[in-house]
Chain A
Amino acid sequence: ETGVTQTPRHLVMGMTNKKSLKCEQHLGHNAMYWYKQSAKKPLELMFVYNFKEQTENNSVPSRFSPECPNSSHLFLHLHTLQPEDSALYLCASSRTSGGETQYFGPGTRLLVL
């Protein structure tokens, strides 16, 4: 299934590095999301974009910076991360932002050293 793709799939970075995660959806959806999933914890919503506009920033630290140039692409720019930021970062999309089914990409497994 290639409805939602994410790159890279794995990323190791130092605390002083800057990196970006990329997500692309091929489903014609209008809403896109970033989630963080830490071990044995529920998914945590980070950001929501609806028609390219950010509608939710769930108290995420500024070291995470999202960018949505169009309805099909979503980026998460990372800088000066902490080891506790190590997690699986999942991108998802849905037709609208009205609480309907979301489809997930395979995720980026991030390790911060």
Chain B
Amino acid sequence: DSGVTQTPKHLITATGQRVTLRCSPRSGDLSVYWYQQSLDQGLQFLIQYYNGEERAKGNILERFSAQQFPDLHSELNLSSLELGDSALYFCASSVAGQVSNTGELFFGEGSRLTVL
């Protein structure tokens, strides 16, 4: 158990809909990272938050947004869903804000999104 909690574990929805994925980081970790894993794109970095502020941005679509709340949990919002958004969405956490300083990331078990 990594200590990172993601909900829901599975989600099935229709094209055009909006969903919210939730992540609670390990106790004491200030950084939260979101990754998307799909068969054709592999594991793609989406966005990082550190102590409530956006720290780094990756290949995140404009239809997607995220935030980190004062209690450090994070939400990833996916809107106007398309079939191609079907994927595993992972949240990871670390203590520090710079990955180069912090070393390893601790991953949750992921939220599997299926868009029909």
Q: Report if A and B associate in a common complex.
A: no
